[in-house]
Chains A and B, each alone.
Chain A
Amino acid sequence: MLTRKDLLGIKELSVEEINLILDTAAGFKDVLGRDIKKVPTLRGRTAVNLFFEPSTRTRTSFELAAKRLSTDVINFSVPTSSVVKGESLIDTALTVQALGADFIIIRHSSSGVPHLLAKKLKASVINAGDGTNEHPTQALLDAFTIREKKEKIEGLEIAIVGDIAHSRVAKSNIYCLKKLGAKIRLIGPPTLIPKELEMMDLDVFHNMEAGLKDVDVLMMLRIQMERQGRGFFPSTEEYSRNWGLTSERFSLAKDDVIVMHPGPMNRGVEITSEIADGPRSVILEQVTNGLAVRMAVMYLLSGMRK
């Protein structure tokens, strides 16, 4: 069972906890395939989406997951809130809690904000992305998708390609997949692969062709356009030429490789449309699985706040 109030990161989860979340998500995925895609499980609860950074897909996914569980949802987005009037982070969170929130789903540009709130609040805090630290539900939905497609995770060769240094998705995925026994390799330019990760017993490739050989799962990361022109890579065109997933490079991976992307994609930069829309792509299934995984997380955490 899950003996925690909050989901802050994958780093602190045990293998048993990760597997419990994935097994529970399978039960919720059954529900999503029915005509009535809603269960009364968390009736009368309230979830608040507290997003200090722009997000469409993660916020929508959490919103729909809560609604499928019969939980009421409030979206609290920054430009329309008192935060622009200078209200402090903790005051904002306490206000939201005083409105009766049972779950506070938070995204913030600073690492560690969810951890701070979790200490101050009685409500369950779910990290929906904090700075460059973690994005735990993305890693869980990725693991769920891999497990569904490959029927296991242990022993698989999984490559994560792109801007690993600034990616909380990559970090959560590395913690998660490593705990589940996968072999992880990082592919990207040296400026985008932090040295401390290289020490985590991961294979690092600074050459795309060499890195793609014999890969079972290929996780492409979004090249963060907002970081262009800061010297991490010369230009988008140059990045695409060296690290973009093209059909020629794709043929080096295993025949039954699956391709993943957390979205939103830069088509033609890190991945071509031919591959993103092709038969090996599971990108849209990741979105569906995200709903099931977020329902499972809310269900399991709700047992702990009494």
Chain B
Amino acid sequence: MTKELMNKNDIDRALIRMAHEIIEKNKGTGKLCLVGIQRGGVHLAKRLASKIKLIEKKDIPVGSLDIAFYRDDLNIRKEQPIVRRTEIPFEVTDLKIILVDDVLFTGRSIRAAMDALIDMGRPASIQLAVLIDRGHRELPIKADYVGKNIPTALSESVEVNLVEEGAEDKVILEKAGKE
């Protein structure tokens, strides 16, 4: 059973609000950069960058980060995760990094992403922006900017579909399968 949680307009409005919040909290775009976690987070980071540009008329650098090398479950997974490119074409040291992901769940991906970023330099700060926070944290991690909070059961799953991946912009909740 599935339920639509956000449509195209909902996603767009949430991103516009998050862009405003990012600028407000950081008092402008100085020393700011966006890093998206592969894959969904990369598209959202690019969208946030273009929203910020509309508001502030400034380009901010965007990078992509793959966390496969830093996962904590490599010893227990059945198969190794696909490795995608990490492209961060700027020095992270002294920058304020906004880490972007589609869904915040256990927090383990974010822990891996922070370790990866810190291996690349010493950022001034790392803040977290997510489109969906579905709860069930297993680590002490909290998002600074949230598109939508959605209480979920552990048995449910949240799917973020984006046009960049050839789908329609949509967030879907899938309930555990009693067909």
Determine if A40 and B115 form an interchain contact, defined as CB atoms under 8 angstroms apart.
yes
Residues of A contacting B79 in the complex (Cβ-Cβ under 8 angstroms): 1, 303
Cβ of A87 under 8 Å from chain B = no
Give the docked Cα–Cα distance between A41 and B77 (Å): 13
Cβ of B74 under 8 Å from chain A = yes
Determine if B120 and A36 form an interchain contact, defined as CB atoms under 8 angstroms apart.
yes
**Could you give, for residues 63-99 of chain B, a 1 whenever the CB lies within 8 Å of some chain A CB and a 0 otherwise?**
0001011100011011110111111000000000000
The secondary-structure label for the interface of chain B is: loop
Give the docked Cα–Cα distance between A27 and B86 (Å): 7
Closest to B71 in A: A41
Contact of B69 among A23, A31, A35, A306 (CB under 8 A): A31
Contact of A34 among B70, B78, B120 (CB under 8 A): B120
Residues of B contacting A38 in the complex (Cβ-Cβ under 8 angstroms): 119
Cβ of B121 under 8 Å from chain A = yes
Give the docked Cα–Cα distance between A36 and B115 (Å): 12
Task: With both chains docked as a complex, state the minimum distance between the C-beta of A115 and any C-beta of chain B, in angstroms.
Answer: 23
Residues of B contacting A44 in the complex (Cβ-Cβ under 8 angstroms): 75
Task: With both chains docked as a complex, state the minimum distance between the C-beta of A48 and any C-beta of chain B, in angstroms.
Answer: 19
Residues of B contacting A302 in the complex (Cβ-Cβ under 8 angstroms): 74, 80
The verdict on A299 contacting B119 (CB below 8 Å), with A27-B66, A39-B69, A41-B69 known, is: no
Contact of A39 among B70, B77, B87, B121 (CB under 8 A): B70
Between B69, B75, B115, B120, the greatest number of chain A beta carbons within 10 A of the residue's beta carbon is seen for B69
Number of A residues whose C-beta is below 8 Å from B? Answer: 24
Closest to B83 in A: A27
Residues of A contacting B120 in the complex (Cβ-Cβ under 8 angstroms): 34-36
Cβ of A240 under 8 Å from chain B = no
Give the docked Cα–Cα distance between A297 and B85 (Å): 17
> Contact residues of B with A, CB < 8 Å?
66, 68-70, 74-75, 77-80, 82-87, 115, 119-121
> Contact residues of A with B, CB < 8 Å?
1-2, 23-24, 26-28, 30-31, 34-36, 38-42, 44, 296, 299-300, 302-303, 306
